[in-house]
Every structure is written in structure tokens, then in C-alpha cells.
Amino acid sequence: MFCTTERPMSPRLWLAVPFLFSAAVFGLMGSAGLITASWTTVPLSPVVSGAGVAVAAAVSGGVRWRRPWHRVWVRFPYLAAVLAAGVVVGAVEIPALVTTVVGLPVLLGLVFQSLVQTDESRPASDCR
């Protein structure tokens, strides 16, 4: 049996999901490049941007939309625009140190938030 929380996600947090996911992945890529000294820049990959959009699409069903029409008329155009922007900036190179400094704190914050929410949502008697 899985224990889940019934708290819906706010639209503002959902708008940040593709960027937070991409920043975390780029941070890992930058830190790997710094550790191995194999590269000094990290290209902004459309694949990573696409994965961020996929994550946002996957969690969009749990968003507390203000109006019913927002579910269709805000969700899909926003995801398409973020994906298009990811493809446009796909050739831009960012220094590995910058991606590491920005991305690793985002990754650690996401992991910490996930652990806190998991712990808070688990009732003592129902989930083990």
C-alpha cells in the first residue's frame, strides 16, 4: 500500500518544475565535468529541457488550477513554449562551474523537500 498526500500543487510551483529539473540535471553534468576535468563548459541540451517538460506534464494532473479552462489553455501552451525555448537555446554553452553552483543546490533542495514531504504525509498508523 502506498501512502500519498492529497495536497495539490500550486500553479506557481508547477511553472517552475521544468526549470528546476533542468537546473538539477545541468548541475550534475557540470559537477561531473569539473571532477573529471574532461570539459569546462556544459551545453544546454534540448534533451534535458524536454525531460523537464515531460516531468512537468506528468505532475500537471495534481495542480490546483484556478479555473477549469486553465487545465487545457494554460498547461499545454506553456509546456510547448518551454520545449521550444529549450530547442532554441540548445547550442548555448555554459561554464561547468556556473552549472554546478546553480544546479547542485537545486538538486539538494529538491531531495530535501521530497524527504520532508514523504515524512510529513505518512500517518503513523496507516503506512509502514
Q: Tell me: the pLDDT tens digits for 8-31?
A: 888 998 999 999 899 888 888 888
User: For residue range 74-122, what is the model confidence (pLDDT) as tens digits?
Assistant: 999 999 999 999 999 988 998 988 888 888 888 888 888 777 776 566 5
The model's pTM is: 0.78
Distance, CA of 77 to CA of 128 (rounded, Å): 40
Q: Which amino acid is at 33?
A: G
Q: Is 52 in contact with 17 (CB distance < 8 Å)?
A: yes
Question: Cβ distance 103 to 23 under 8 Å?
Answer: yes
